[in-house]
Amino acid sequence: MGRIEYEAMPIRAFPEHTVRIPGGAVTFGVEYRRLDEATILAEMGPDARARFGGVVPAGMGAVIEEDGVALHVFDAATGDELLRFDCFDDAAHWHLLAPGGGRNVVIEHDPAEGPLLPWAVSALRCRLRDLLAEAGAPAVAAALGDDEVRAGLDVVAQVARYVEAAGRPVSVG
């Protein structure tokens, strides 16, 4: 599957749509994420495509219009996002993020492995330390407590099912 590395970081998690769940050294986030041209323009400005070298991840069209559940993994101490799984229907992918180093690796999800959401929860349960180390956060990986992570991921799985069933949030205002 495709793997692209960018220096530009992705659009932030939107706190108003993200449920944060403690997991010890990490905080998990579950968000219903909408990524479209208007959001990109509002968050990154008119030069957004140039920041990413004009290269769009595989599966995304020329006009970006995606939505779905996103799972986030934040460093509990700093709040920096280290991992993200964008469980979109058309362009499911995930990120290895190193905010201090300006490294954003986008990895296309292989649909042969099934939908990204259950795959991501399983990967977080089985390989969180390895994924954090690969993202450039070995100290966070070393500080993980198995019981805290397990309890956090149990809540993540429940919240993600609810958020997926509820669908796109309605803007208030």
Residue 8 domain flag: yes
Q: Establish if 123 belongs to a structural domain.
A: yes
CB 30 within 8 A of CB 74: no
Q: What pTM was computed for the model?
A: 0.87
Domain span at residue 10 reads 3-166
In a domain, residue 172? The reply is: no
Q: Is 55 helix (H, G, I), strand (E, B) or coil?
A: coil
Q: How far apart are the first and last CA of the chain?
A: 41
Among candidate residues 120, 133, 159, 162, the one with its CA nearest the CA of residue 25: 133
* pLDDT by position in tens, the chain (length 173): 588 888 888 889 999 989 999 999 999 999 998 877 676 666 666 666 555 566 665 555 555 667 889 999 999 999 999 999 999 888 899 999 997 778 899 999 999 999 999 999 999 999 999 999 999 999 999 999 999 999 999 999 999 999 988 876 655 54
152 falls within a domain: yes
Burial class (CB in 10 A: 0-12, 13-18, 19+), 167: exposed
Looking at the domain assignment, is residue 46 inside a domain? yes
65 falls within a domain: yes
